[in-house]
């Protein structure tokens, strides 16, 4: 028998302005974890959530994580561990989210102030963190409140784990999860994470796989200090020249990784797997809209989806130490550091991939016959993840999607990385589900990040409905 959700749904609609106001308060806190100067704001965001949760009757603990490894004078922001409900007759579900955000400045190209939630005439709620991940995090709190106002029984015991360092490598989180696996998390029977996005803009999805991410740096140094190109140009071997020549060897125009041994690690595509892509609701036009251009490598839907989810990719992200401000500056940098990453897939191994990258970069640098010095290393790594979409956790979520959105969800993988997904799976031994709220055009990490009002309000209903269905779904 389907859960009775009408009173809960009605209260979500009735409280929608209140829920948007709550999101506005959260967006107004610039909780940028990568900026040491903003660390007090990250902590302030933790206290905001603590107060909101306690007002709803949840048990809340702010768990300190110690000092930041690359800056021992700086405290890591606390992890919020919260519990709502202690009924032995109910299932216990663990949810995860993060309350920190990417950097944002109006001068980056935002049309609005990034830390002020603005709802435009099209129902787009613009603001840093609106979709990644403050909207989804508050979705769980809003679902609790709507149940309370409706006088409806909350269907599960809810465990919550919200961190403040996700956008800066989740420092300290893995150790906490492993330590709490048999303590705070011990009752969890399934895990749900809402920190990803629909494939398009119209059809919801459930996500069962993620690519991993190995992030690398290549440092090339030579002179003792920056040089004037008019005085020293032509007399010194330039680190920037060496670096760009090495970076250019990593990947070709069509995204094919040039490092030997990478492709050989990738698990072959089976016939059954290949057919999964045929029925997925996705058009190249949607991708063009997300890109803001038609600069896709392929115009084929299936090839594009497989390139995004199923195969590794290599992206070059930037150069530290080089002149990047407007205008002309004739400087020769003494040291430059190139940054690039490889998104990894089954069955790629972190250590093997690192070994292949280091070997190749050193070989390419040696070919330059330069007197400059090279250092190559991995800044951080995270493994890929694939779960079973046939688990009762997923079937419950699918029923919730049909109840709220009126359609069956697509089952998708994702090109991005959420390393904590694998950590939760390995530490708890439970199935992990990714249940997105936002859509593909939200622009997380980009300028003008937004969450559509429709996705936010219906997403609150979805999170609540999921808890009702997962509370009664048969465990096969």
HSE, side-chain direction, 13 A CA sphere, residue 459: 34
d(CA 158, CA 91): 9
Task: State mean pLDDT over 434-453.
Answer: 96
Q: Which two tokens stand for residue 223?
A: 């002179």
Task: State mean pLDDT over 344-357.
Answer: 97
Percentage above 90 pLDDT, the chain: 90
> Phi-psi region for residue 319, left (φ > 0), alpha (ψ -120 to 50) or beta?
beta
Instruction: Work out the pLDDT band at 290, boundaries 50, 70, 90.
Output: confident
Instruction: Work out the pLDDT band at 279, boundaries 50, 70, 90.
Output: confident
Q: Name the CA radius of gyration of the chain, rounded.
A: 24
CA dihedral 459, 465, 470, 474 (to 10 degrees): -130
Q: Map out the domains of the chain with their CATH numbers.
A: 6-210+384-472 (3.40.630.10), 212-266+311-382 (3.30.70.360)
Task: State mean pLDDT over 341-355.
Answer: 97
Residue 476 pLDDT > 80, yes or no? no
* pLDDT single digits (tens) 221-253: 999 999 999 999 999 999 999 999 999 999 999
Backbone φ and ψ for 193, nearest 5 degrees, come out as: -125, 125
- Say whether 242 is catalytic: no
pLDDT value, residue 1: 67
Answer whether 123's CB lies under 8 Å from 220's CB.
no
* pLDDT single digits (tens) 195-211: 999 988 889 999 999 99
Worst-scoring range by mean pLDDT, 140-149, 226-235, 414-423? 414-423
- Say whether 166 is catalytic: yes
* Residue of 100, 171, 242, 442 marked active site: 100
Using N-to-C axis directions, what is the helix angle for 350-367 and 239-247, rounded to 10°?
A: 130
Instruction: Work out the pLDDT band at 289, boundaries 50, 70, 90.
Output: confident
DSSP 129: T
Exposed, middle or buried, 278 (CB in 10 Å: 0-12/13-18/19+)?
exposed
pLDDT value, residue 382: 87
Cα angle, residue 168 at apex, residues 163 and 169 outer, rounded to 5°: 80
User: What is the rounded average pLDDT for all residues in the chain?
Assistant: 96
DSSP letters spanning 24-54: HHHHTS--BTT-GGGHHHHHHHHHHHHHHHH
DSSP 410: E
d(CA 211, CA 218): 23
* Residue of 41, 133, 166, 180 marked active site: 166
Instruction: Work out the pLDDT band at 192, boundaries 50, 70, 90.
Output: very high
User: In terms of pLDDT, which residue wins out, 417 or 234?
Assistant: 234
Give the start-end residues of each E strand in 164-222: 190-193, 205-210, 212-221
Answer whether 134's CB lies under 8 Å from 23's CB.
yes
* pLDDT single digits (tens) 359-390: 999 999 999 999 999 999 999 888 999 998 99
Cα angle, residue 281 at apex, residues 278 and 287 outer, rounded to 5°: 105
d(CA 75, CA 69): 9
Q: Do you find a cis peptide bond into 136, omega within 30 degrees of 0? A: no
DSSP letters spanning 300-319: -HHHHHHHHHTS-EEEEEEE
* pLDDT single digits (tens) 1-22: 689 999 999 999 999 999 999 9
d(CA 402, CA 404): 6
pLDDT value, residue 161: 98
pLDDT value, residue 270: 86
Cα angle, residue 260 at apex, residues 255 and 265 outer, rounded to 5°: 85
């Amino acid at each position: 028998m389907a859960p009775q959700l009408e009173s809960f749904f009605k209260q979500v609609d009735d409280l929608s302005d209140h829920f948007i106001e709550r999101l506005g308060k959260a967006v107004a806190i610039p909780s940028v974890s990568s900026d040491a100067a903003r660390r007090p704001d990250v902590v302030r965001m933790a206290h905001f959530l603590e107060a909101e949760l306690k007002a709803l009757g949840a048990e809340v603990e702010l768990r300190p994580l110690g000092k930041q490894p690359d800056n021992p004078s700086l405290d890591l922001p606390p992890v919020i561990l919260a519990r709502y409900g202690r009924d032995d007759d109910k299932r216990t579900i663990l949810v995860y989210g993060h309350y920190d955000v990417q950097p944002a400045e109006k001068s980056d190209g935002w049309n609005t102030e990034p830390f002020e939630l603005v709802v435009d005439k099209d129902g787009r709620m613009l603001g840093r963190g609106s979709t990644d991940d403050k909207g989804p995090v508050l979705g769980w709190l809003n679902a609790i409140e709507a149940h309370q106002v409706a006088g409806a029984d909350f269907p599960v015991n809810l465990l919550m784990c919200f961190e403040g360092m996700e956008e800066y490598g989740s420092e300290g989180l893995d150790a906490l999860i492993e330590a709490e696996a048999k303590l705070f998390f011990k009752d969890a029977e399934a895990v749900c994470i809402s920190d990803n996005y629909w494939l398009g803009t119209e059809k919801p999805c459930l996500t069962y796989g993620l690519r991993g991410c190995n992030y690398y740096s290549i440092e090339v140094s030579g002179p003792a200090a920056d040089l004037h190109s008019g005085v020293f140009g032509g007399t010194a071997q330039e680190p920037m020249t060496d670096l760009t020549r090495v970076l250019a060897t990593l990947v070709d125009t069509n995204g094919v990784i040039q490092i030997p041994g990478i492709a050989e690690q990738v698990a072959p595509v089976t016939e059954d797997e290949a057919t999964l892509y045929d029925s997925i609701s996705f058009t190249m036009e949607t991708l063009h809209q997300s890109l803001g251009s038609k600069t896709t490598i392929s115009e084929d839907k299936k090839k594009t989806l497989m390139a995004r989810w199923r195969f590794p990719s290599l992206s070059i992200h930037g150069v530290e130490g080089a002149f990047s401000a407007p205008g002309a500056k004739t400087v020769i940098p003494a040291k430059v550091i190139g940054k690039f990453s490889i998104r990894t897939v089954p069955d790629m191994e972190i250590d093997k991939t690192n070994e292949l990258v280091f070997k190749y970069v050193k070989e390419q640098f040696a070919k330059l016959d330069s007197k400059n010095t090279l250092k190559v290393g991995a800044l951080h790594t995270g493994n890929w993840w694939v779960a079973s979409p046939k688990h009762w956790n997923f079937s419950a979520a699918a029923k919730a999607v049909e109840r709220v959105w009126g359609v069956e969800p697509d089952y998708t993988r994702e090109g991005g990385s959420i390393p904590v997904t694998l950590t939760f799976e390995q530490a708890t031994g439970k199935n992990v589900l990714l249940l997105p709220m936002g859509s593909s055009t939200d622009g997380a990490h980009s300028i003008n990040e937004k969450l559509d009002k429709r996705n936010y309000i219906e997403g609150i209903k979805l999170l609540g409905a999921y808890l009702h269905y997962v509370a009664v779904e048969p465990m096969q």
